[in-house]
């Protein structure tokens, strides 16, 4: 089975073709850098995305957050449910952990100071 992808790792947006057999990539063409190849392999095996959102602070302020690494696409709704239930106590600095282990040992971190 062949799959066509547009790489999202950089602004070039390479058009990548991946041939998959038995759930594994056997041929990858069209990428222009190692990140593109790694993206294509991951995308056909287990796609992942960084989740960005906001968490309400105890004073009502919204604090921007993101997962420190990409999470499985299939886990995004569960991650968002945890984010929506979370609150944080101020002050918060960029890089502070807001929710530990939100998914597979991946933390939710602050991306702004509040």
- Tens-place pLDDT, residues 50-66: 999 999 999 999 999 99
Separation of alpha carbons 31 and 74, rounded Å: 25
Query: Residues 111, 56, 108, 83: what is their CA dihedral angle, to the nearest 10 degrees?
Result: -140
- Give the model confidence (pLDDT) of 16-48 as tens digits: 999 999 989 999 999 999 999 999 999 999 999
- pLDDT at residue 113 greater than cutoff 90: yes
Length of the chain: 114
- pLDDT at residue 91 greater than cutoff 90: yes
Question: Phi/psi of residue 31, each to 5°?
Answer: -85, 155
Separation of alpha carbons 103 and 114, rounded Å: 24
Question: Phi/psi of residue 34, each to 5°?
Answer: -60, -30
Which ranges in the chain are annotated with CATH 3.10.530.10? 52-110
CATH code: domain 52-110 is 3.10.530.10
- The tokens describing 19, both together, are 């041939």
Round the average pLDDT of the chain to a whole number and report it: 96
């Amino acid at each position: 089975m062949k799959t066509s992808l547009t790489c999202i790792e950089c602004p070039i947006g390479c058009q990548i073709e991946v041939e998959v057999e038995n759930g594994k990539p056997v041929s990858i063409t069209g990428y222009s850098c190692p990140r593109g190849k790694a993206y294509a392999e991951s995308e056909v095996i287990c796609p992942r995305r960084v989740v960005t959102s906001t968490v309400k602070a105890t004073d009502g302020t919204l604090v921007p957050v993101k997962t420190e690494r990409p999470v499985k696409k299939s886990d995004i709704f569960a991650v968002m449910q945890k984010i929506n239930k979370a609150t944080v106590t101020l002050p918060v600095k960029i890089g502070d952990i807001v929710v530990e282990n939100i998914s597979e040992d991946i933390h939710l971190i602050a991306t702004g100071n509040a």
